[in-house]
Each structure stands twice: as structure tokens, then as C-alpha cells.
Structure 1
């Protein structure tokens, strides 16, 4: 069975339902991608690599992982830390604003759990996905060990996939983020950047500029996301521009890129062409942004993806 690991952080999500009531769920970029991949491709073995606490919300989070049929063998429980939390607000156009509480997040400690035995077990994976968020939150003194562990996995034949999801407030400065992102691009086999993040960090404002920038790296597959405009892919020497039909009923743009990532990668692992994978990923993203929160209702999401041919 094809196996993919998603390494990163899941958080407790809070959302205002009315002036007196909060809704609570769970979300995080790599977790969101894992959920949408598994929902669309149940035959893939999809696993989370993260650290949570032993508190009540962390236990509920673990139950949610299991309810989404995610493998939790490498979900580690820290004895004293807790799961991070965020509050999300959206404006009339569906754009988001976040308030975070993650200073005591167990996910910051995840590298401590990745001992030699665990890393050896991870070599059984076909693919490992990580993003700019775990790069930002793991502790400074764990970074060298983190890159060594990824290098071991790469040498063992695990495909490494990176999404440069940039959150400025998580980094000491932009230079630190650029240094770590450069390392990620250097080691990765597949990259899924968005123009918005590339613009902030590297001054890249178009897919053409991005293609030029990534020539310095030995990527097997490059997927450049430009919001609702288009997706440009480069696989070997095959350069394609894929038109995306924008969604008009935008409720909440949270997790659009995450849904695209999970479904695109699932499609590729399942033998779909790049073009087919892009269209399926775009359909997933377009469906998710028509619902509040990072994780769309299961029935609505599966119905939309069934209509798209899954």
C-alpha cells in the first residue's frame, strides 16, 4: 500500500458562531491536507507525524485523527505540553484573520520524539510532506537534527514534498525563514509554492519568475499556485499552465491551498496525470472555501469530489 506521512502541527480551532457562542474544531495546514487526501483516496495509507499533549483537547484531537482514518502511530503525546490553539475571523470576502496561542505547543517538540528507531520506521514511506509552519515552530536547537533526519529519509528513497507556507509572526526575521526555506527546496523532490509567499520572501511576482528561481534546485515536480488565477506545473521539461475556474460563493478561504495540496498529491500517487491532479486539487480547494472553517463537512466535500470524477 502506498504510504504518505504528513509532518507538522494540528491545532484547536475556535470560531465565533454568535456573540455568545464559540465553535470548536481542529485544523492545521499539514493535517488539513492529510484529511482531504484520505477522504478522496481511502486506499492510500495516510499518517500524521506530530506531538500533542495529554490534556482533554489533545485527546479529542487524537480521536478526530482516528475518525478521519489517519494513521496515528507517530502522533506523540508530550507529558507536560498541550496542543496549540487559534481563533479565526473572516471578513465579508471570506478572507481570514488569526489569533494564536501556541507558546506551549507540544508540536514544537516533535523532533525530540524522532529518535533513530522512529526515523528508521519512517523509511517505509513513499512520501513525506512538510511545510513552512513546522519549520518555523520547531525549536532552534532541533533544526540541525531535523535536517539530518530528512536527509536520512531521502537517502532511503522517501520522496520529500515541501509547501513554503509562510507565516511572518512565527519567524524571528525574514532572513531566518529564507535560510530554512532554501534548505527545504534543496532537499525536496516536489515543491508546491504559492506566488503570495514567494513574493513576500523572494520578491517573485509571477509564475515565470518562479520557474526561473527554482531552476537552481533539483526538483522532480514543481507546482506553482497563483490563487484563483492559475496553476503552473513543471515536471522534468514539461511546462504546463492550467486554467482555474474561480468560485464565486466564497465563505472562508481557510485551507484552500491545503485541500489542493492533499488532493493533488493523492491524485499523483494514484496514477493521475499532472493536469488531472491539478483540476481535482482545484475542485477540492473550490469546495472547501464555500464552507466555514478549515475542514469542510464530509458529505458536502465527498459529493463535490464525486461530481468531479472521484
Structure 2
């Protein structure tokens, strides 16, 4: 297995019309969650990915499992919970520049994920463990599951990739900051956005944030700065890798997960850090051009065609 990730995926309902959701009469049903988005992104790029989670013993949970399994992700570690529902959320696209998300996830099956759901042998055989800051915000048992996964990864020298993925709606800011900083001190690679860096450290200068994250203990920091691209920082070097411009952003949700998948794919393929960040930038840009969390995740030949056709600076 190339990567193992753990966290909640929910059923996504999106109005078929733009504007205020109160006027919507019909919705499309999709699936979305940072960790499964990431796993699907990697399988489309030709890698092996496994997802640990829980879903409800309901029709929506069964549809979700079938969908994610159909995308090539290993779901053997997903438990079906007969006493809690599958979580759902609504994505209200008011305009191309304003997307609002409303979650209905309290008490969901995935929020009951616990350390008992984490198998040592499953994580031990992976090259990377991917975690996000969403999972520990769901419940104390989810936080314990994350800590257990980290401990196993460290025991077996599995590299840990951490995407803070800040969700302020899920917990208090003080607790979020404390937990995210604690996780940042335990991982090998961290993929924060500039706003997450500012939230965690109260700083907005990229160079300063890069040093602060490295001082926490990570060996590689990739700091996303929106359309400009992403910086990477190691103890030896740092550089801004330019992003790919797009003329029209259709749906920005999921772009960060696409970036993480593209970047990890580059590492798995033996690319340099700069080339891996460049691939991450390309996948992230491609995701924004398609409606849906996973619908815009490309296959490898599509990424290569996109990068070759656009270069780093050409509008699309």
C-alpha cells in the first residue's frame, strides 16, 4: 500500500441551481471528505490507497462504500455501524466566488471512529500515513484514533503527512490551535495553507511560517498560498513554486485535497520536491474547474497534458 488515510466522508447534496439554497427544488447527490478525496486522487494517479473510517448501516453509507471502492480505494478497514447514521452536508454555491457549506455530522458513524478501529499491520505496510486536522475535531475517540495511527506509523518508520485542514465550526479556536500544533510536532511532512499558518502561529509571512513549522519538528513544509502556488521549506532550502492560473473557478472545494494528492503522487514517483509541488499545484488547479469534490481529480496523463499545455503561467 502506498498510503493509508483515516477520516470521515459524508454524503454531499448540491442544489442544481445557484443562489440561495432556500429556493432550490432539486439537488444532486455526491460524496466528499478530505481523506477519501485524497485517496481517490492518488488512485487516479496510479497509486494504491487505503481508507479507514466508519459509515452508517444505511442506504447512503452503502452507496458511499460502493462509490469509493469503485474508485479503486481499499475500504477493507471501513466499519459499518448499525447504530449511527452516515453524515451529510450541503454545498450552497451562491456564486463562483462564494461557496457555503452546512454540515449535519454530529453523532455520525464516522465520529465514533476509535483507536480500536486502527490495525497496526494495516498501517505498518504503508509508505505514508496521511492525516488531517478534521478527524481529531469530530470527537475524543477520533482524536485517540489519530494518536494511535501516529504511534503505529512512528513505530514502523512510516512517513506521516499532515494537512491541518482547519474547520473552525467543529471546535473552539483554542482547542483547535492546541491540537493542530501538537500534531504538527509529530509529523514528517506538513501541508498548511497560509490562513492555517496564520491561525496556528499568528504570523502571515511565508518565510517566517516555514521556519516556525520546521521548528515544530517537520522535515518538509509545503505552504499553500492560493493562486500564487506553494512554497516548500526544508532545513537546507526554500522556494516558491508558481501555480497554474485558471480563468474561471467553478468550485474551489476540494482543491487542497487535490493538491495533497498530486504532491504525494510526485513523492511516490520519485520526483524532486519542487516537481512534486508543481504536480500538486496542477492537480489543485484542475479540481477548481469542475463542480464536485472528486469529480475534477485527474488521471496522470491528464495532469501531464495540462502541465505541458499550460506551463506555469498560461491562463486556461
TM norm structure 2:
0.89
SS of 2:291's partner is: coil
Q: Which portions of structure 1, spanning 4 or more consecutive aligned residues, are displaced by more than 3 angstroms?
A: 141-146, 300-304
Q: Counterpart of 1:159?
A: 159
Give the drift of 1:236: 3.8
Q: CA RMSD for the aligned pairs? A: 2.0
Q: Counterpart of 1:143?
A: 143
Select 1:72's aligned residue among 48, 71, 75: 75
Give the drift of 1:155: 1.8
Q: How does 1:39-58 map to 2 (within 5 A)?
A: 39-40=44-45, 42=46, 44-58=47-61
Q: Counterpart of 1:280?
A: 279
Q: How does 1:190-229 map to 2 (within 5 A)?
A: 190-229=189-228
**Does the 8 Å CA contact 2:137/2:143 hold for their aligned counterparts?**
no
Select 2:94's aligned residue among 79, 91, 94: 91
C-alpha change, 1:285 and 1:158, in structure 2 (3 Å) is same
C-alpha change, 1:252 and 1:112, in structure 2 (3 Å) is same
In structure 1, distance between residues paired with 2:180 and 2:230: 21
Which deviates the most, 148-157 or 184-193?
148-157
Give the drift of 1:200: 2.8
Which deviates the most, 49-58 or 233-242?
233-242
Give the drift of 1:279: 1.6
SS of 1:184's partner is: helix
SS of 1:72's partner is: coil
Give the drift of 1:140: 2.1
**Number of equivalences:** 302
C-alpha change, 1:32 and 1:282, in structure 2 (3 Å) is same
Q: How does 1:173-184 map to 2 (within 5 A)?
A: 173-184=172-183
Q: Counterpart of 1:304?
A: 302
Give the drift of 1:145: 5.8
**Does the 8 Å CA contact 1:151/1:187 hold for their aligned counterparts?**
no
TM norm structure 1:
0.91
Q: Counterpart of 2:9?
A: 10
**Does the 8 Å CA contact 2:214/2:220 hold for their aligned counterparts?**
no
- Residue 59, structure 1, aligned to residue 62, structure 2: yes
**What runs of 5+ residues in structure 2 fail to find an aligned partner?**
18-23, 309-316
In structure 2, distance between residues paired with 1:119 and 1:148: 9
Which deviates the most, 270-279 or 250-259?
270-279
**Does the 8 Å CA contact 1:27/1:294 hold for their aligned counterparts?**
yes
Give the drift of 1:131: 0.5
Q: List per-residue Cα deviations over 1:96-135 (Å, max 9, x = no partner).
A: 21011001211111115425xx123321111110101001
Q: Counterpart of 1:24?
A: 29
In structure 2, distance between residues paired with 1:32 and 1:144: 22
Q: Counterpart of 2:129?
A: 128
SS of 1:228's partner is: helix
**Does the 8 Å CA contact 1:287/1:301 hold for their aligned counterparts?**
no
Give the drift of 1:305: 1.5
Q: List per-residue Cα deviations over 1:274-306 (Å, max 9, x = no partner).
A: 1211121111111111111112257x7666314
Q: List per-residue Cα deviations over 1:216-264 (Å, max 9, x = no partner).
A: 2221211000111231102341212111132121111010111000111
**What runs of 5+ residues in structure 1 fail to find an aligned partner?**
none
Which deviates the most, 139-148 or 80-89?
139-148
In structure 2, distance between residues paired with 1:121 and 1:302: 26
In structure 2, distance between residues paired with 1:290 and 1:149: 34
Which deviates the most, 193-202 or 254-263?
193-202
